[in-house]
Each structure stands twice: as C-alpha cells, then as structure tokens.
Structure 1
Amino acid sequence: MKKLLLLTFILGLFFTAHAQFTGGGLGGGPKKSTVTGRITATILDSLTKKPIDYATVSLVNAKDNKSVNGGVTDGKGKLTLQNVSPDSYKLMIGFMGYKTKSVLVTTTPSKPDNNMGTIYISSSENTLADVQVQGTKAVIENKIDRMVYNAEADGTNAGGDATDVMRKVPMLSVDINGNVQLRGGAVRVLINGKPSGTMASSVADALKMIPAEQIKSVEVITSPSAKYDAEGSGGIINIITKKSNAQGVSGSVNASAGTRQNNGAFNLTAKTGRLSVNTSLGGNFAYAQNSRVVIVNNTELSDGSAIYTSQDGYSKWSRNGLNGSLGVDYDFNAYNNISSNVKFNRFSNGGPGESDFLTNGFRQRNISDMDMTFSNMDWNVDYKKTSKKEGEEFSISAQLSRGRTPQRFSNTFIPQDSLTGTTTERNNTSKNNEYTVQTDYTYPFSKSTTLEVGAKGIFRKIRSQFDFSSQDFDYNQDVAAAYGVISFNLTKKIKFKGGLRTEYTTISFNTKANGIQKNDYLNLFPSAIISQTLKGNATLKLSYNRRLQRPGQNYLNPFLNDSNPINLQQGNPYLNPELSDNLELGYSTFIKGSVINASVFYRRTGGVIESSLTTTAANIPLTTYINVGTGQTYGFNIFGSYNPKPKWTLMSNFGLNTYEVNNKVANFNTGTFVNYNIFARSAYGFGKGYNFELFGVVNSPRRTYQGKTDAMIFYGASFKKDILNKKGSIGVNTLNPFTKDLHIQTVNNSITPTETVFQSQNIYYPLRSFGVNFSYSFGKLKFTEKKKIKNDDVKQDQQQGGMGGVQQ
C-alpha cells in the first residue's frame, strides 16, 4: 500500500507539471527567438600557422559582457558553437602561453549562422622563434559548483582501473581497499550523472570493474543543490565515461598490458540525423599475485586470563571483469527526445591462500579458497521535453537495477604434525533489485531567475541467502522525495541558489530469528549557495547543505563472514543513517595563466558509522558496524595549477581535515586528530607528440574511534607519443617502481568492562607495476546544428563497502 501511495504521489506531480508545461509554462516571462544558429571558426598560431587544439573560447554578449556559450577547439583548431540566438557578441579566445584575443561577431534571424573563417592568435612570449605549440587539455578544471579532473588528459592512468584514477583526483582520499572519501566524509558515486546498481553492494569493488581508459573525467561536487539526492555526507563524485556527440561513425580502441593488470576497451558511436546508437565493451584481467597477511590478536578477559592468536600467510588474489553498454538516443524533433541505455558488469575476485595459525601455543595450518563474484545490470529510459522558451525543460526517467553477489569460501585446518584436517565451507548470495522513477521540471522566469522542481521514488529490495535458511535476510527500503530550487541574481555580481529537498524513507527487514523490524523517518535537506564575482576573474562562494549517508548492503548484511577464522566480519541491520550539516567558504582565481582554488569547511555529522572491533561468545575477534556518535570536522583544501612554460604544467593539491567523534551517552571522546592528503603532478610536452608525466599521492594515517591505519604513498610516471596524425598514441607507464609491496598496518583497541581486545593487521599489497598502452580513435565526424540533449539528473543512492577479505 505504501508503495502505491508513493507512486501515486510522484505521478500526480508529474502530470501537474506536464499540464503546466504544455500550457506554456508557469507564467509570463520573456519569449526567446525560436531561430538559433551556429558560429564556426578555425584557430591557428599566427607565426607557425599550425592549429591550436584545446584552445578555450567564450561567447560573450556585447551588451552586458555575460558569457552565454563556449567550448574548446578540436585537434585541427576548429570550433563550433551551437544554438546561438541572434545578437551581437564578442568571441574571447585564450590558450596558455598566448595573448587572449577578442573578435566581434554578429548573427541575425535572417542569417543565424556565421563562419568566422581563420582566426590567428599570437604567443605571449617575447621571443617567438623557438616556441613550439603543444596543445594539451587541462587536467583540472575549476567550476562554480565542482572541480573536474579530466582523466583522458592524464597519460599516467593507462593500464589502471577507476580506483587508480580516483587516487589522483583532488580532494579525494582512497584507502587500500578502494573505499573513497571526500574531505574525510562518505561520498555518493554516480556514472554519467546516474547511479548504478553495481555500486549498491560495494563502491570499492565496483570501481575495480571500470578500466581507466573508459573514463573521460571525474566531477567532484562538494556543495550539491537540493535537486540532487541527499545521499553522501561528504558530497558527490560523478564519473563521466567516453562518448561522442558528433554526427557520423566514430569510436576508440584502448589496450594496455603490464605486470599488474591488463585492460581493453572499445567504444563505438553511430549518429545520423535524429538517431544515435552507442556501444562499449571493456575488460580487465589482473595477474594472481601473493598478498601477505600478518594478524595478531590479544584478548584479555576480566578473570585475568588471555587468548593470543596470530596468522602469518598469503592470499593469491586474482581479478577479472567484463563490462559493456548499449544505448539508443532519438530526437522526435527539436524539443522532444527519448533515450535508453543498458549497462552490465561482471567482476570476480578471489583465489587460494595458505596461513600458519597460532592459538595459545597450539599451531595449525589453514588452506583456504575464496570466490566473490559481482554482477549487475542497469536499464534506464529517459524522456525529455524542451520548448521554444530557452531553458525550459521537463523530463521523466525510470531505472531498473538488478545485482547479484554470490560468495563462496572454504577453510581446511591441518593441526601441527598431522596430515589431514577439517574442512568448512560457506556460501552467501545477495540479491539487490532497485526500481526508480523520477520527474524534473525547470522554468526560467528571466535570464537570471530559474525555478527547478521535481519528485522521485526508489523501491529497493535486498535479499541475502545463507547456507542455513534460518539466517536468511530480507531488507526493503522505499524512498519518496520532492524538491524545489530557486536561483536568481541579488546584484550584477552576486548570485544566489537555494532550495529544499524532502525525503520520506520506509524500512522493513526480517532476520527470521528476530522477526520483522520497521523503521520509518522523514528528513528535510535545505541547501544554499551565494557567490560573488570579484575583480580579475576571481569568485568567492559561501554554501550550506544538509546531507545523509544510508548504510550500504555490506554494512547491513548479517551474514557472518568467517573466511578468516581469527578475523570475523558481520554487518548490522539495525544501523541508522548518518546526518551531516556542511558549511563551506571557497575562493578561486586566475592569475597570469595560473589557477588557484581554496576552500575552508566545517561538517557536523550525527550517527557516524564506523567499523567496531568486538568478540563473539567464543572470544573470537569480530568486526561489525555501529553508529559511534557525533563527529565534527574542520578543514581546508587548496589547489593550484601553473605553467612555467607553454609546454610545461605543474599542479598540486593539499587537503587537511580534523577527526573527532564524541558520544555523551557512552561518555567517550576520541580527541582531535589531523588527516591530510597531497597530490602533485608535472607534465611536459617535448613537441612532435612526445609527452612525459610524473605524479605522486600521499594519504596521511587515518583514525577511527578505536584505532589507526598507516599512511599510503603512490607515485608513478608515463611517457607517451602521439601517432597516426594524433588519432592514436602509444606509451609506457609505471606505478611505485622502487617499492615492490605497499605495507599497511591497521591497529585497533577495544576496551569493555569484560574484556580488552588488541588487534594488529599487517598487509603487504603487491603494487609495483610496469606496462605499455595503445589507444586509437577513428571515424570521420561532422558537427551539426542539432539541439544537444544533456541529462545530469540523479537517479538513486550509492553506498560504500569493501568487507570480505584482502583485495589488491
């Protein structure tokens, strides 16, 4: 009945908005000309007459100097700006190491298209004779509400997966298992602006499924508006995959081979007239390598006795995955579009292992084997309607996600001086089905005032089947949401955007042993951003938002994972979500070709979810999850990019945040600790298509309420050569070449009235790698005046995960 009411509410809002839309919008407002055209040009170096690729072009209204359109030039220096309304403009052309050039351009209703022909720009260097033009797309772009990391412009990514890419994104920190945090807070991960059911069980595992070569860019959104789902206490990460928007048949092929991992990716787009079809196929295979594991447990009981256990061994883990997609996009006319996309992923992880165990002097050997498979299918259908009024838009979307996570492991214990042992086997299959429907409507009252409204429903069913049916776990979660966002200009230089999102969540779960449990709650999520434009292209921004972090499938699943018999793991279905309030002050500027972005922030989080070390009735160490208490975080982040020469780019990011959790009921406080992360990169173009890059990442030690995890250091380099008229490239790369293994120690202490538990885990991950890579783009492209369809709607929530053994 509740699902029916939720669906009725959403569809009612949809039909109301649609009726208003077809009737001409929400009211008066200025009418825009229905005639639009395009502006084309070719940008060349004034001295060498060579094309300038990736030059930045902004179209500015000549009357009020406001930017209305923009883009970058392609490999031949060509530029096309679509959907330009008749008016007088200034074409502002800029590129690092060149003087900014302004060109007047006018379009009229009778002549909406204007071909500017060839435009020459000159170098800002005093001596031009020895200057070689080396066009390189900026790796980092700073925008008003997000920072964008252009992964395709970073040659050091070749041969890795999405986890390797995330480690180089400013403001993000990634632990050794691949769990991602944004400035110390949990994040929500989207793929092309939409969720993926692949992320539902474990973000860490899902990221390993995506080859780095398929990633175009990563957007880091620290201050999402109320239009976005409230999920993600730290913010949102949006992974954009490669896809062509040009007419014709085009595609790309990427392949890499190395000592650690092998990747392959193929993308193809066929676009003609109103119809576009795109497909992709990718795979990755990691060689089985030994990861050494050393664990020491010491449990002191209240009667004075102690239990000492230790493990010293290895897991020979291998990973392989396959992913693909098929999408169709069709424009009925200039104002109506429908699209559908199907994505699938399959990823297996595991392998054999051997360990020596010691328990209070009794020694035995364990021969283990584990197989964890993750598979998921996402199917999206989206309809979008625009109108003659520029900026007005209505959309309705639906998504089906179907995920399966079967796990199997076995342990054979052989006592010392014995030839035979005892074998135990465990199986657990988790099923996650999610159904989502969403509608959004945008109405511009004027050039500076815009209203956005929408509604959404999510229906989620999780079922976990164990070896013993009495332990089966059913979990149902339904979410109904509605939002409204208004944006307008307070003055010519001060802009405001604010809104409110409402989410009502109903939860029911059945652990069989304890019967059906229910938990319903209503949350309000306000958000506001005020920004001011300063002199010299500088911007000052102040933002506030409330966010939520629901526990993921791995956090909830009560399946007792005893794949490691002295380090048990189990989820907690009684977890409550985290609620956080975020306040941020940001500043960005451009100084003589340099980019500087700085921000300070404060976050207060109630119901912080963390892992907790305890013991079973048999005094075996058990790791589960609990709501620890209330956390407070202060921090800052500063990013800078500088070009000492046109061919040389330096960039760095430094982030710092505090960690403190207190619980008045339990009467404890962790004290205040400092976390930090550092990223640095240097890229140099030698000319003639030769490029060399270096990068390094440092993540400080991480604290929890019970313990500490060591710092992590990653570094690498790549050398790349453009070939086949810049349509292809070939290169070599390396990761941590001077360090065979990455040694990470995690220490936890748990003190209760009945016992004191100490646990030390030392894991040695084989990280050093060398590889070669090849990429090639093909197809003859032709750009047209077709109205671009763009969808950045958010569909459903994502979770972090990563329980279930050692991972490379």
Structure 2
Amino acid sequence: MKRILLLILSLGIFINAQAQFPAGGFGGGAQKATVTGRITAVILDSITKQPIDYATISLIKVKDNKSVNGGVTDPKGKLSLLNVAPDSYKLMIGFMGYKTKSILVTTTPTKPDNNLGTLYISSSENALADVQVQGTKAIIENKIDRMVYNAEADGTNAGGDATDVMRKVPMLSVDPTGNIQLRGAAVRVLINGKPSGTMASSVADALKMIPAEQIKSVEVITSPSAKYDAEGSGGIINIITKKSNAQGVSGSISAAAGTRQNNGAFNLTAKTGRLSVNTSLGTNLAYAQDSRTEFITNTVYSNGTTNNIVQNGVSKWSRNGYNGSAGLDYDFNAYNNLSTTVKLNNFSNGGPGSSTYNINGFPSTNISDMDMTFNNLDWNVDYRKTSKKEGEEFSISAQLSSGRTPTSFSNILIPDGATTGIERISNNTGKNNEYTAQTDYTYPFSKAVVLEVGAKGIFRDIKSQFDVSAQDFDYNQNVGAGYGVISFDLTKKIKVKGGLRAEYTQIDFNTQNSGVQKNDYFNLFPSVIVSQTLKGSTTLKLSYNRRVQRPTQSYLNPFRNESDQFNIQQGNPQLNPELSDNLELGYSTFIKGSVINASIFYRRTGGVIESSISPIKELNPTTNLLVDKTLTSYINVGTAETYGFNLFASYNIKPKWTLMTNFAGNTYSVTNNETNINTGTYFNFNWFVRSAYGFGKGYNFELFNVITSKRRTYQGSTDPFYIYGGSIKKDILKKKGSIGLNVLNPFTKDLHIKTVNNAVNATGKIYQSANIYYPLRSFGVNFSYTFGKLKFTEKKKIKNDDVKQDQQQQQGGGMGGVQN
C-alpha cells in the first residue's frame, strides 16, 4: 500500500506541475508535425581534388552548441544527413591529417533541404586531437560533467569483453577479477543510462558477459548533478552500446576467437517512418583453464592456542554467458514518443577444483565443485513529450528488473591416508525484484536559464533462500526521491548548474535469528557546477556534490558461502549506507593538436564499507569438536578522507601517430575513534599509456599498457600488477569491415596477485596471505562488419544509481575458486 501511495504522490506532483506550465502545450490538442529536411555535400582534398572517404561529420546547433546529427562520407566523398530540423548549425568536418573545418549551415521550414555543394579540406601536420587515426572518432572526449571514452574507435578492444574495455577508461582502476573503482571509490555502473539486475549481483561477472564489440562508448561522470540518483561515492559509469537510428536497415556483426575466450555480437536496427525496431545479441565463452591459489592462515587465539593452515589448490573454471535485447521506438507525431526495451542476461561460471590442506601439520585433500548462475530480465517503457518551445520536455518512465542467482557449492575433505570423507553441500537462491517509476520535466525560461524537476520511486525486494524450502532472508527497500536543478549563464563565459535532491529510504528485513528489523532515513543531496571558458578552447570547472552508497544484495545476503569450509564468506544485513562529500577542480584545453585534461579533488566519506576478516571457532556437528575458521564479511569501517588528482593527455606526434596517457592518483586513509582504527595515509595510482599508428591503406597498429599500484584496505594490502597488449587491424570491404589480430600479456601466462591481511578481535589475531594466479595471456583473431548508415540519438532513460555494488569478487570452488 505504501508503494502505491508513494507512486501516486510522485505522479500527482508532476501532473500538477504540468498544469503550471501552459507554455509547454501539454493540453493534448492537435499539433503540427515539425518539417525536417536533409543536408548534402561532397568532401574533397583541396590539393588533389580527390574524394575524402570516411571523413567524420558532426552537425552542431549554434544556439546551445549541442551535437544533434552526424555521420561519415562514402567512398565518393558524399555526405547526406537526414531528418534535420529547421535551424542554424555548424557543420564540423574532420579527418586524420587534415584541419578540422567548420561551416555555418541554415535550414528553414520553407527550405528544409540544403545542398552545400563541394567542400574542400586542407591537410595539416598538426591536426586537432579530435580527429584520430584514419578519420575514426576521437578516443577521448571531454564534456562539462563527464569524460567519454569511445570504445568503438579503439582497435585493441576487439576480441575482449567489457572488463578489458574498462581497464583502458581514464580515471578507472580495475582489479584482476574485474571490480571497478573511480578515484579510489566505489562507482555505479549503468547500461545505456539504466541499471541492470545482473549488476546488483556482481559487477565483475556482469561485465564479463558483454562483448567489447557491443560497446560504443563509456561515460565517466565525476560530477553528477542532483538530477542523477545520488549513488556512487566516486561517480557514475554509463556504458553505451551500439545502436542505429537511421532510416532503413542497419547494424553490425562481429566475432572473435582466441586462446582465452571467444565472443560474438550482433546488432540490427530497422527504421521506417515513425517506427524503429532494434535487436542485439552477444555471447561470451571462456575456456576452462587452471587457476592456482596459495593460502596461508596463522591464527593466535586469546587463550594462547594457535592454528596454522596452508592451502594449495587448482580449479578448472569455465565461464559462458549471453545477453540479448529487443526494442521498439515509435513517434506518434512530432511531439510524442513511446519506446520500450526488453533485455535478457544469462551468465554461469564455476567448475571442479582440488586442493591440499596442511592443518597444524596434519595433511588432507579437499575435492570441490561450484556452480554460480546469474539470470536477469530488464523491461523499460518510456514516454516522452516535447512542445513547440525548444528544450521543453516531459517524460514518464517505468522499469521492471527481475533477477535470479542460484548458487551451489560442494566439498569433500579427505584426511591423509583415508579413501573417503564427509561431503558438505551449500545451496542458495537469491531473488532480486525491482520496480521503478520516474517522471521528469524540463522547462527553458530562456536560452540561458533552464529548470529541471523530477520525482522517482524505487521499490526493491531481495530474497535469499538457503538449503531448506523456508525463506531465510527477506529484504525490502523503498526509495522516494524528488529533485530540482537550474542552469544559467552568470556571464558570457561563466555557466552555473546547481540543484538539490531529496531522498527518503525505507528499509525492513528479517532473518531467522533476529526477526524483523527496520532502518529508515532521509537525506538531502546538493550539487553545483561552475564552469568558465578561458581563452581559446580552455575550460575551468569547479564542482561540489554529496553522494550515497547503499549496500546491495551481495553485501547484505547472510548466506554462508562455505565453498572453502575453513574460509567462510557471509554478507551483513546490518550495514549502513556510505555518505560522501565531493569537491573537484578541473581544467581542460587544446594546444596545437594536443588535448590536456587535469583535475584535483577532495572526498570525505562516512561509514566506509569494506570487507573484514576475523577468526572464529565453530562446532563440528560430526565430531562435536570446535574447529578454527576464518570469517570474511562486510562492515562500516569508519571515515575516509581522500585527496587525489587525474591527468589525461593526448598528442598527435604525426598526422597518423597518436600518443595518449592517463595518470590517476589518490590517497587512502580511514579512521574510527570508537574502534581505534587509524590506517595512516597511503598513495594509490593507476597509469594507462596508449600508442596508435596508421600505416595507410586501412592498416592500424596499437599498443597499450596499464599499471596499477599497491592497493590498501584497513586490514591489509594487495600487490601492484600490470597488463599490456596490442592489436593490428586492416579495413576491408570498402571500410565497412575489418579483420585483426590482438594479444594480451603475451610474455606472462598468469597475472600474479598477492594479498595480505592482518586482523585482531576478542577471539584472537589472524594473519592471512593469498597468492592468486589468474590465466590472462591470450592471442586472438577478430572480424567485424557494419552495414547501413549509422546515426546515434539519445533518449530519456531511467537511471537507478542508488545502491553500492559488489567491489570484491567472491572466491569459490574450494581453494581453486578463482576466475580467469
């Protein structure tokens, strides 16, 4: 009943708001459709008068400097942009080795078509950095509140998955299992502006099921306004997948085979008139490979007894998954649009493993098996209404997300000299249902002043069923939110965007041991961004925002993962959310073909959530004796103060040679006066370097390297690691297709990661050392082909950005339970 009332209240507020803005034309009367036309031209070399094929074209509105259309020229240099609304535009023409050319273009309702005739572009030894190798799109774009990594323009991504893509995104750090941090903090991951139920279970596993060839770009939003959900201490990552919005039929197909994994992707869009239908399918299959682990656990209990366990194991893990989607988009007229999308995801991993145990000098063998499956359905329906007043928009969106995560573990511990042992079996089925309703309204008072308001309700129901049929854990979370954001020009060169978001969270959950418990809280989240344009293309930006991180299913689920019966893992339903305040100063400029983006930031986070190990003693029901074990769970550690910076630079040494680097660093320090925690201050960094060279005749060669420093936690640290690779690609089939070779870590078979933890509690103190060897080396071949004319547009989307995701990969399958 509370959910229904909250939804009615949210919608009621904006039905009333709609009535307050009659200028928007929301009265429902008949309205004339906007006339659209086309812009055509032929692009030639100014010296040779030869056609420039595959030149990149962007159509930008003069009024707000926003890109509204674009494409590439054909082999004859011809350009045709369709569905162009009457207005004044800048037509930007870019190609590697040539100066970027800008032309003013105007279309009117009486003359919607504009043939620009023949346009000439001239070569330059220092072409701007927004024109990359062989005329492809810029790898990195910098915008007022985000940095965009155009994955489709990076040839080294071919044959990989989304995890491989994330490793090369500026400001992000990715550990060997695929968990992501932005500036040393947890981050919210969206797909096309929407959450996915699969992400709620495991971010690392969800990314592994997305082929790299399906990804168009990745947006890193470091300064989200109050319009966004307040989740993400570090910010928001939005993965944009490939989709066409051109008349006719267009799409792409790609496939990759390698020594580590195989994947494929297919995208298809059919558009005729007002109706557009799109579909996609992606698959990923990783070979079963041996993953090695070495654990040493030394425990000294308060009564003086000690316990020493040495474990060495190997598991043969396999991993496979698929994802598919189908969408429909329909324009009823020039002002009303309805769209819907259904996405399915399935992912499974696991396999057999064996390990040797030496417990206080007594050897034994553990035989294990593990199976983890993720199934998820996301269904979205979005209605959008615009008016004759440019920039005014009203939208209503709804979303259903339903996920299932059945998991099973088995272990047989066989003492040395014995032929059989006692089998331990653990099963758990997690269920995550999420319902969302959202409404937004944008009203431009003038070209310089824009108001945005909205309301949202999110209703989550998380269930966890253990080995028995009874329901063991039921967690309900309802979030009601409203926001207001205003943007205005303080001067001709200074722009301001400020807002306030209010969120009320209602939580109740029950466990068999503690019964029903509740936790309700209310938060206000202010945000402000001030940007100033300096001389030339230089911008200075100052921003502040408050963010929250709510724990998600994997953090809360009290299911005891006993895949390693001496190292137990368990969630904590008593966790409180993190709250953080973020301050950032950013600077960006273009200097003679170079792009430089630099920022410094400060973040204060209360209630930081981290994993925590502790020694425990448990009764063995078979022998009726106490057994020494280690429990890993999650706790609110304390308060963290973080200082950091990010430096990105791109430079065109020659018209066909581009160098790029990103260096991000931040401090780590956590204190808690109540528990006497004071970690001291440590420095973490992530360094990425990329070199791309075009040989001509469609050949492109790229190399990259990622170096990550030692990572600290309040109990220990993880050693540094590095990843490197390269690719060579050849354009074929009139540049509509490509074939290439790629390699990852060719000179090192395994990625070796060492983690050390030290913990003390009333039971005793514990030292744990883990050496994990992930098979990462791979060689592969890839092929891709696109057909039709590609033109991308953006739609209003629901964004559930309000829950903390799993940042530490679960380890299972006995001692060998690691993923590759």
Common fold: TM-score over 0.5? yes
Could you say if the C-alpha distance between residues 104 and 311 of structure 1 is closer, same or farther in structure 2, counting changes exceeding 3 Å?
Answer: closer
Q: Residue 67 of structure 1 aligns to which amino acid in structure 2?
A: N
Does structure 1 residue 74 correspond to structure 2 residue 81? no
SS of equivalent residue, structure 1 residue 134: helix
Does structure 1 residue 53 correspond to structure 2 residue 65? no
Deviation at 1:488, TM superposition (A): 0.3
| Preserved contact between residue 228 and residue 793 of structure 1 (Cα < 8 Å) | no
SS of equivalent residue, structure 1 residue 391: coil
Instruction: Look up the match of 2:815.
Output: none
Q: Residue 803 of structure 1 aligns to which amino acid in structure 2?
A: Q
Cα distance in 2 for partners of 1:437, 1:490 equals 34
Instruction: Look up the match of 2:624.
Output: none
Instruction: Look up the match of 2:196.
Output: 196
What does residue range 441-456 of structure 1 map to in structure 2 within 5 Å? 441-456=441-456
Deviation at 1:362, TM superposition (A): 1.2
SS of equivalent residue, structure 1 residue 620: strand
Q: Residue 807 of structure 1 aligns to which amino acid in structure 2?
A: Q
Could you say if the C-alpha distance between residues 498 and 782 of structure 1 is closer, same or farther in structure 2, counting changes exceeding 3 Å?
Answer: closer
Instruction: Look up the match of 1:807.
Output: 819
Q: Residue 799 of structure 2 aligns to which amino acid in structure 1?
A: V
TM-score between the two structures when normalised by the length of structure 1? 0.95
Does structure 1 residue 550 correspond to structure 2 residue 550? yes
Cα distance in 2 for partners of 1:218, 1:605 equals 26
TM-score between the two structures when normalised by the length of structure 2? 0.93
Of 687, 708, 712, the match for 2:717: 708
Deviation at 1:754, TM superposition (A): 3.8
Cα distance in 1 for partners of 2:367, 2:763 equals 33
Deviation at 1:18, TM superposition (A): 3.5
Does structure 1 residue 685 correspond to structure 2 residue 694? yes
Instruction: Look up the match of 2:352.
Output: 352
Deviation at 1:204, TM superposition (A): 1.2
Cα distance in 2 for partners of 1:592, 1:320 equals 46
Deviation at 1:108, TM superposition (A): 3.7
Deviation at 1:712, TM superposition (A): 1.7
Deviation at 1:26, TM superposition (A): 10
Does structure 1 residue 494 correspond to structure 2 residue 494? yes
Could you say if the C-alpha distance between residues 592 and 482 of structure 1 is closer, same or farther in structure 2, counting changes exceeding 3 Å?
Answer: same
Q: Residue 74 of structure 1 aligns to which amino acid in structure 2?
A: V
Q: Residue 24 of structure 2 aligns to which amino acid in structure 1?
A: G
Cα distance in 2 for partners of 1:201, 1:86 equals 46
Cα distance in 2 for partners of 1:167, 1:335 equals 41
Deviation at 1:470, TM superposition (A): 6.5
Deviation at 1:50, TM superposition (A): 2.8
Deviation sequence 1:350-381 (CA, Å, 0-9, x none): 00000001111111101100000001000000
Deviation sequence 1:681-704 (CA, Å, 0-9, x none): 111111111111101101111100
Instruction: Look up the match of 1:608.
Output: 608
What does residue range 747-766 of structure 1 map to in structure 2 within 5 Å? 747-766=756-775
Cα distance in 2 for partners of 1:741, 1:55 equals 40
What does residue range 37-116 of structure 1 map to in structure 2 within 5 Å? 37-48=37-48, 49-51=50-52, 53-55=54-56, 57=58, 59=60, 61=62, 67=65, 69=67, 72-76=70-74, 77=77, 78=79, 80=81, 83-87=84-88, 91-116=91-116
Deviation sequence 1:552-600 (CA, Å, 0-9, x none): 1110000011101222100000000000000000000011111100000
Deviation at 1:33, TM superposition (A): 12
Deviation sequence 1:257-276 (CA, Å, 0-9, x none): 00000001111111100001
Q: Residue 361 of structure 2 aligns to which amino acid in structure 1?
A: G
Instruction: Look up the match of 2:266.
Output: 266
| Preserved contact between residue 616 and residue 763 of structure 2 (Cα < 8 Å) | no
Cα distance in 2 for partners of 1:168, 1:407 equals 32
Instruction: Look up the match of 2:433.
Output: 433
Does structure 1 residue 746 correspond to structure 2 residue 755? yes
What does residue range 791-806 of structure 1 map to in structure 2 within 5 Å? 791-801=796-806, 802-805=809-812, 806=818
Deviation at 1:107, TM superposition (A): 3.4
Of 627, 630, 633, the match for 2:642: 633
Instruction: Look up the match of 2:419.
Output: 419
Instruction: Look up the match of 1:400.
Output: 400
SS of equivalent residue, structure 1 residue 419: coil
What does residue range 332-347 of structure 1 map to in structure 2 within 5 Å? 332-347=332-347
Deviation at 1:43, TM superposition (A): 2.6
Cα distance in 2 for partners of 1:133, 1:706 equals 46
What does residue range 449-528 of structure 1 map to in structure 2 within 5 Å? 449-468=449-468, 472-528=472-528
Deviation at 1:419, TM superposition (A): 1.3
Q: Residue 294 of structure 1 aligns to which amino acid in structure 2?
A: E
| Preserved contact between residue 455 and residue 481 of structure 1 (Cα < 8 Å) | yes
| Preserved contact between residue 54 and residue 137 of structure 1 (Cα < 8 Å) | no
Cα distance in 1 for partners of 2:21, 2:775 equals 58
Instruction: Look up the match of 1:9.
Output: 9
Deviation at 1:71, TM superposition (A): 5.2
Does structure 1 residue 623 correspond to structure 2 residue 632? yes
Cα distance in 1 for partners of 2:67, 2:609 equals 44
Instruction: Look up the match of 1:368.
Output: 368
Instruction: Look up the match of 2:248.
Output: 248
Cα distance in 1 for partners of 2:34, 2:467 equals 64
Could you say if the C-alpha distance between residues 280 and 482 of structure 1 is closer, same or farther in structure 2, counting changes exceeding 3 Å?
Answer: same
Deviation sequence 1:292-344 (CA, Å, 0-9, x none): 01001000112222100111011111100011001011000111000110000
| Preserved contact between residue 261 and residue 286 of structure 1 (Cα < 8 Å) | yes
Cα distance in 2 for partners of 1:775, 1:34 equals 37
SS of equivalent residue, structure 1 residue 455: strand
Deviation at 1:468, TM superposition (A): 3.6
Q: Flag structure 2 segments of 5+ consecutive residues without an equivalent.
A: 619-627, 813-817
Could you say if the C-alpha distance between residues 501 and 90 of structure 1 is closer, same or farther in structure 2, counting changes exceeding 3 Å?
Answer: closer
Identity %: 72
What root-mean-square deviation, in Å, do the aligned CA atoms of Structure 1 and Structure 2 show? Answer: 2.3
Does structure 1 residue 669 correspond to structure 2 residue 678? yes
Cα distance in 1 for partners of 2:71, 2:323 equals 31
Deviation at 1:103, TM superposition (A): 3.5
Could you say if the C-alpha distance between residues 666 and 409 of structure 1 is closer, same or farther in structure 2, counting changes exceeding 3 Å?
Answer: same
SS of equivalent residue, structure 1 residue 67: coil
Could you say if the C-alpha distance between residues 188 and 126 of structure 1 is closer, same or farther in structure 2, counting changes exceeding 3 Å?
Answer: closer
| Preserved contact between residue 33 and residue 333 of structure 2 (Cα < 8 Å) | no
Deviation at 1:520, TM superposition (A): 0.3
Q: Residue 810 of structure 2 aligns to which amino acid in structure 1?
A: M
| Preserved contact between residue 149 and residue 218 of structure 1 (Cα < 8 Å) | yes
Cα distance in 2 for partners of 1:244, 1:107 equals 24
Deviation sequence 1:493-538 (CA, Å, 0-9, x none): 0000000001100000010221000000001000000000010210
Deviation at 1:37, TM superposition (A): 4.6
Could you say if the C-alpha distance between residues 33 and 326 of structure 1 is closer, same or farther in structure 2, counting changes exceeding 3 Å?
Answer: closer
Cα distance in 2 for partners of 1:315, 1:218 equals 33
| Preserved contact between residue 473 and residue 512 of structure 1 (Cα < 8 Å) | yes
| Preserved contact between residue 20 and residue 26 of structure 1 (Cα < 8 Å) | no
Cα distance in 1 for partners of 2:466, 2:553 equals 15
Instruction: Report the count of equivalent residues.
Output: 793
Does structure 1 residue 215 correspond to structure 2 residue 236? no
Deviation sequence 1:447-467 (CA, Å, 0-9, x none): 111000000000100000001
Instruction: Look up the match of 1:318.
Output: 318
| Preserved contact between residue 180 and residue 800 of structure 1 (Cα < 8 Å) | no
SS of equivalent residue, structure 2 residue 176: coil
Deviation at 1:658, TM superposition (A): 0.2
Deviation sequence 1:128-160 (CA, Å, 0-9, x none): xxxx99322211111111111111111111111
Deviation at 1:196, TM superposition (A): 1.1
Deviation at 1:13, TM superposition (A): 1.8
Deviation sequence 1:618-659 (CA, Å, 0-9, x none): 331111000000001000000001111111111000000000
| Preserved contact between residue 97 and residue 126 of structure 2 (Cα < 8 Å) | no
Cα distance in 2 for partners of 1:515, 1:644 equals 66
| Preserved contact between residue 436 and residue 456 of structure 2 (Cα < 8 Å) | yes
Mean Cα deviation higher: 12-21 or 210-219 = 12-21
Cα distance in 2 for partners of 1:243, 1:90 equals 24
